[in-house]
Chains A and B, each alone.
Chain A
Amino acid sequence: MGSLIAQVVSVTLMNLGSLRRRLWMSLAMVFASAVVVAILLAFLAMAKGFEATMSGAGSSQIAILMREGSSTELNSVILQDQVNLIAESAGVTRDANGPLVSPELYVIVDGIKKSTGTEANIPLRGLNKIGMAMRSNMHLVEGRMFTPGTNEMIVGEGVLREFDGFDIGKEVRFGKNLWTVVGAFSTGGNIFESELWADVKIIQSHYNRGSSYQSIRLQLENNGDLKPIEETVQREPRLNLEVQTEQEYFASQGKQLQYIATFGWIISAVMALGALAGALNTMYTSVADRAREIATLRALGFSNFSAFCGTIIEAMVLAATGGLLGSLAAYLFFDGLNTSTLGGSFTQVVFSFEMSPDLFVQGAVLALVIGFISGFFPAWRAARMPVVVAFRHAT
């Protein structure tokens, strides 16, 4: 029935043509829908960016070992002889200089955030040459490497961006110790860029750690194959260690911020309810405003289905326009926006909001749902409108 489509199209065009009469109400509906979608996208982009940062950090070629029961590096302790035992284990890659095993320290220092001017935690990682070599995507973007045995450190690009006072050549005081920044490094945008790196031995001595560490990183002989290491740990009672690939470790840390996405959906759902109330009001007003026109068309022989469709399409067009504007605003304001949040070990993880097509799809779905629901009941009323309204004398 071609005429049915023609009816729906012409009724819809007429409705949109009459929007001018309801300009402010309609704009309010567009605006409300835009705000809801923008807020949802901001949260989703934040969760997305965080997850990307965290999961990008991990390699399945690297195993990370921590004391049993410690979910993060911060509350793990590992002793020198445990490091030695692991270094001898099967399944560890060896090169001319010996096993690729990196015992690392991880302490928390304070920095001043540029954005707020307040103090926040930054992880200071102690590692040696092997540890550095193991992070294959790490490269210096400025300055030089720290000299082992000195109070020199290099800073991740994220720290440089978000915190004050870490420019190259600057001296930085942590507690009693004065450090010099000699270089800045990138690790391709992942979590290590939120860290400061220095010589592990120096940190051991400054922070009274004796010969203890907090984690061991090692390069696996076979990608992802933890078995030989796990067997060593089980066989040796002194090794109360937990073994996982670095990828698993960071993925689990990244998941912790999945609640941001959930939270975003909850917030926007609540706000969507508010937007919905306004939108329903707009659409009921639209139907009342067009009552004579609807009834006249019905008298001429236009179907009630066309009255229904015209109304619901009007609602969806308004909500979708809002959704589009909201997405655009979210994209302009948030995409690539750098921020930091508490990472798994109460340190700052610097990451970027990441807008991706699937987020826009989610935003569009939300806008269309708002449009559909706010249009449905008014459209029903439009379809049930008695035709005799066309003959009423009120104008």
Chain B
Amino acid sequence: MSEEVLFQLKGVSKNFVKGKETISIFESLNMEIDCGDFVAIMGPSGSGKTTLLNMLGGVDQPSGGEVWFDSERIDSLSEGALTQWRARNIGFIFQFYNLMPMLNAQRNVELPLLLTNLSKSQRRHNVETALALVGLSDRAKHMPSEMSGGQQQRVAIARAIVSDPKLILCDEPTGDLDRATADEILEMLQLLNRDHGKTIVMVTHDPAAAKYANRTLHLDKGQFVQREIVA
């Protein structure tokens, strides 16, 4: 694994203002993620796992502190710049797949490539490669509604990797799947990490899922806490 630091949080705080109340989620969070790491984030519901992931993915901004990515500070980027940064660097995998219901698998996977300057034939080639990687070449023309949850999530994985981003962020990627299907998906993520060098940050409730990661961070009451991994 490379020693290069990909992500760094320095004294990050986050609060939500709700009417007159201010809810503090994090006070001063520090964290480093190395290139090529596979990190699982666990913690009780409401502990801020999704909020943290959103800040890493540049879809939510911290209230204070600094977020560094690849020696670029991203918490101060404008919304437009952040959008382009996401397109270049981040692949998202959602709990509920978030495929476009009106597009077939192939077109769903192609979406991130529409943000690049690739030609149509290059796009087609990359889409085929990504679909082959998740074992869905034969489903290219299928609509999301014609696929099982596990297949849809594999399409979502293909979409997350098709533009070759450095970092893949997953929020409960197996939260809606049965054990066997979940293991399939997790093995796929592990493969992407091990053989394709993708850095992965995965939020999960499931200790069995966390075992696929290289390390697990436990988030509780706005802090990372040390905790034995339960077998």
A binds B: yes
Chain A interfacial positions (CB closer than 8 Å to B): 2-3, 6-7, 10, 14, 17-18, 292-293, 296-304, 386-388, 390-391, 393, 395
Query: What's the minimum C-beta distance from A393 to chain B, rounded to whole angstroms?
Result: 7
7 further contact pairs, Cβ within 8 A, besides A3-B116, A300-B115: A17-B103, A293-B98, A298-B59, A301-B115, A302-B115, A388-B54, A390-B94
Question: Which B-chain residue is minimally distant from A4 (CB atoms)?
Answer: B115
The answer to whether A292 touches B117, judged by C-beta atoms less than 8 angstroms apart, is: no
B100 contacts chain A at the CB level, 8 A cutoff? yes
B83 contacts chain A at the CB level, 8 A cutoff? yes
The answer to whether A299 touches B102, judged by C-beta atoms less than 8 angstroms apart, is: no
B60 contacts chain A at the CB level, 8 A cutoff? yes
What are 7 A-to-B residue pairs whose CB atoms are below 8 Å? A2-B117, A3-B117, A293-B101, A300-B159, A302-B111, A303-B80, A304-B80
The answer to whether B115 touches A7, judged by C-beta atoms less than 8 angstroms apart, is: yes
B114 contacts chain A at the CB level, 8 A cutoff? yes
Contact string against A for B residues 76-118, beta-carbon threshold 8 Å, 1 for contact and 0 otherwise = 0001100110111010101110101111000000011011110
Kindly list chain A residues whose C-beta atoms are within 8 Å of the C-beta of B53.
Answer: 391
Kindly list chain B residues whose C-beta atoms are within 8 Å of the C-beta of A10.
Answer: 111, 114
The answer to whether B94 touches A296, judged by C-beta atoms less than 8 angstroms apart, is: yes
In the complex where A300-B111, A301-B112 touch, is A18 in contact with B84 (Cβ < 8 A)?
no
Contact of B115 among A3, A293, A387, A391 (CB under 8 A): A3
Contact of B96 among A6, A303, A395 (CB under 8 A): A395
Kindly list chain B residues whose C-beta atoms are within 8 Å of the C-beta of A388.
Answer: 50, 54, 59-60
Give complex CA distance A299, B86 in Å: 7
| Nearest 7 interchain pairs by C-beta | A301-B87, A17-B102, A387-B59, A296-B98, A301-B86, A6-B114, A301-B115
In the complex where A2-B117, A3-B116, A7-B114 touch, is A390 in contact with B98 (Cβ < 8 A)?
yes
The answer to whether A18 touches B102, judged by C-beta atoms less than 8 angstroms apart, is: yes
The answer to whether B115 touches A298, judged by C-beta atoms less than 8 angstroms apart, is: no
Chain B interfacial positions (CB closer than 8 Å to A): 50, 53-54, 57, 59-60, 79-80, 83-84, 86-88, 90, 92, 94-96, 98, 100-103, 111-112, 114-117, 159, 171
Kindly list chain B residues whose C-beta atoms are within 8 Å of the C-beta of A7.
Answer: 114-115
Kindly list chain A residues whose C-beta atoms are within 8 Å of the C-beta of B90.
Answer: 301
The answer to whether B111 touches A297, judged by C-beta atoms less than 8 angstroms apart, is: yes
The answer to whether B92 touches A299, judged by C-beta atoms less than 8 angstroms apart, is: yes
Q: Is the interface of A mostly helix, strand, loop or mixed?
A: helix
Give complex CA distance A3, B88 in Å: 13
In the complex where A300-B87, A301-B88, A387-B59 touch, is A292 in contact with B98 (Cβ < 8 A)?
yes
Give complex CA distance A334, B141 in Å: 48
Give complex CA distance A6, B110 in Å: 12
Kindly list chain B residues whose C-beta atoms are within 8 Å of the C-beta of A391.
Answer: 50, 53-54, 59, 94-95, 171
The answer to whether A298 touches B83, judged by C-beta atoms less than 8 angstroms apart, is: yes
The answer to whether B102 touches A393, judged by C-beta atoms less than 8 angstroms apart, is: no
Kindly list chain B residues whose C-beta atoms are within 8 Å of the C-beta of A303.
Answer: 80, 83
Kindly list chain A residues whose C-beta atoms are within 8 Å of the C-beta of B112.
Answer: 300-301
Give complex CA distance A2, B102 in Å: 24
The answer to whether A393 touches B95, judged by C-beta atoms less than 8 angstroms apart, is: yes
The answer to whether B94 touches A14, judged by C-beta atoms less than 8 angstroms apart, is: no
Give complex CA distance A195, B98 in Å: 72
The answer to whether A14 touches B59, judged by C-beta atoms less than 8 angstroms apart, is: no
Kindly list chain A residues whose C-beta atoms are within 8 Å of the C-beta of B114.
Answer: 3, 6-7, 10
Kindly list chain B residues whose C-beta atoms are within 8 Å of the C-beta of A18.
Answer: 101-102
Query: What's the minimum C-beta distance from A294 to chain B, rounded to whole angstroms?
Result: 11
Query: What's the minimum C-beta distance from B112 to chain A, rounded to whole angstroms?
Result: 5
Give complex CA distance A17, B98 in Å: 16
